[in-house]
Amino acid sequence: MALAGCHDDRAPVEAAERAAEPIVVPPGARLSGMAVAVSSVRADRAIDLGVVRAAMREAENAFLACLDPDGSTGVLALRISIETDGTVGDVSQQPTTTYGTDEARSCMERIVSAMRYPTAESRERFELDLSLEVRPRRDNE
C-alpha cells in the first residue's frame, strides 16, 4: 500500500511517489495526547480489511497533523470509491461525521485520497466505508 501527500494519476500501481506538497507532521505530533483510530471499516467487495486498518494506523501521524488545535473529539465517516488498480476515486463525508472543522476534515480526506488499497479480488470499482475516531490517546497506546 502506498501513501503519498497528493493523488497522482501518473503513479504506477503499488508505487509511492513523493508528493509536490508533502504533508508536514509537526515534531512530537504523536505526543499530542490525541489518537486517530479506525472505529469501523466495511466494503462491498472482497478486500482485506485488516490491511486497510493497518494502513490507517501507519497514516496516523499524518492525520494528527490535520487535527483542530482545540483537542476536540469525534468521528470522520467517509465513503471511498476504490478503483480497479487500488487508487481512490471519490471520497465523500457521511452524515454520521461529528469531528472538527471543514479544514481538518478536508485535510484528513486528502490523506485518505492519496492512499492505494489492495484489490486482489476486485475487477471493478467498489465502495469502502471508513470511520476514523479522533479521541484522547489511551495509556496503553
pLDDT in tens, 29-40: 444 689 999 999
pLDDT of 116: 87
Domain boundaries, the chain: 35-136
Residue 50 pLDDT level (bands cut at 50, 70, 90): confident
Residue 141 pLDDT level (bands cut at 50, 70, 90): low
Angstrom distance (rounded) from CA 71 to CA 33: 9
Say if CB 121 and CB 46 are below 8 A apart.
yes
Residue 57 has pLDDT above 70, yes or no: yes
Amino acid (one-letter) located at 37: A
Say if CB 107 and CB 76 are below 8 A apart.
no
Other beta carbons less than 10 A from residue 104's beta carbon: 20
Q: What is the DSSP letter of 25?
A: P
Residue 64 has pLDDT above 90, yes or no: yes
Whole-structure pTM value: 0.73
The Cα-based distances of 124 to 45, 77, 79, 120, 127 in angstroms read: 9, 23, 16, 11, 10
- Extract the C-alpha cell encoding 4: 503519498
pLDDT of 14: 31
pLDDT of 10: 32
- Phi, psi torsion values for 76, nearest 5 degrees: -110, 110
Please spell the DSSP secondary structure of 100-141, one letter per residue.
S-HHHHHHHHHHHHT-----TT-SS-EEEEEEEEEEEPPTT-
pLDDT tens for 2-22 read 444 443 333 332 323 333 344
